[in-house]
C-alpha cells in the first residue's frame, strides 16, 4: 500500500542510463499482472534510442516530458486474443504494476 500512497510523478530526468536490472524488474512486474482468461495481451517495448524517444514524446501533449527521459516504456495491446474487448483493462492493470515497481 505504501507505493500507492507515496507514488509521485516525474517530469525531469537525469541524463544517465538506467541499469538493465532495474528495467528487467519493472518489466517482470508487468508480466505477472492478472488478465482476463490469462490472455496477457500486452507487449512492452523498451525504447532507449534518443531519436525514437523524442519522436514518441511528440505523439501526445501528455508525453512531452518523456523527451528527456533516458528510457521510455511503450505498452501495446494485441488484438489476437480470446477477449479483445478487455485488452485495454488488462494493459492498464499491467501498467499499474509497472508504475508500482518504479517506486
Per-residue pLDDT tens digits for 3-45 = 778 877 778 888 899 999 999 999 999 999 999 999 999 999 9
The model's confidence at residue 57, banded by pLDDT at 50, 70 and 90, is very high
Indicate whether 98 pLDDT > 90. Answer: yes
Rounded-to-integer distance, Cα 94 and Cα 102, Å:
13
pLDDT, position 14: 87
Residue 99 DSSP class = H
Rounded-to-integer distance, Cα 35 and Cα 33, Å:
7
Q: Which of 12, 10, 8 is nearest to 68 (CA)?
A: 12
Options 2.40.30.10, 3.40.109.10, 3.40.50.300, 1.10.260.40; which CATH number does 18-102 get?
3.40.109.10
> What pTM does this model have?
0.88
Q: Which three cell numbers stand for residue 75?
A: 505498452
DSSP string for 60-81: -GGGGGGGG-S-EEEEEE-SSS
Amino acid at each position: 500500500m505504501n507505493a500507492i500512497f507515496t507514488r509521485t510523478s516525474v517530469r525531469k530526468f537525469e541524463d544517465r542510463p538506467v541499469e538493465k536490472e532495474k528495467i528487467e524488474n519493472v518489466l517482470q512486474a508487468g508480466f505477472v499482472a492478472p488478465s482476463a482468461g490469462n490472455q496477457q495481451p500486452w507487449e512492452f517495448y523498451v525504447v532507449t534510442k534518443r531519436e525514437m524517444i523524442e519522436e514518441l514524446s511528440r505523439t501526445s501533449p501528455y508525453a512531452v516530458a518523456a523527451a528527456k527521459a533516458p528510457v521510455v516504456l511503450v505498452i501495446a495491446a494485441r488484438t489476437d486474443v480470446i477477449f479483445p474487448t478487455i485488452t485495454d483493462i488488462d494493459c492498464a492493470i499491467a501498467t499499474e504494476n509497472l508504475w508500482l515497481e518504479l517506486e
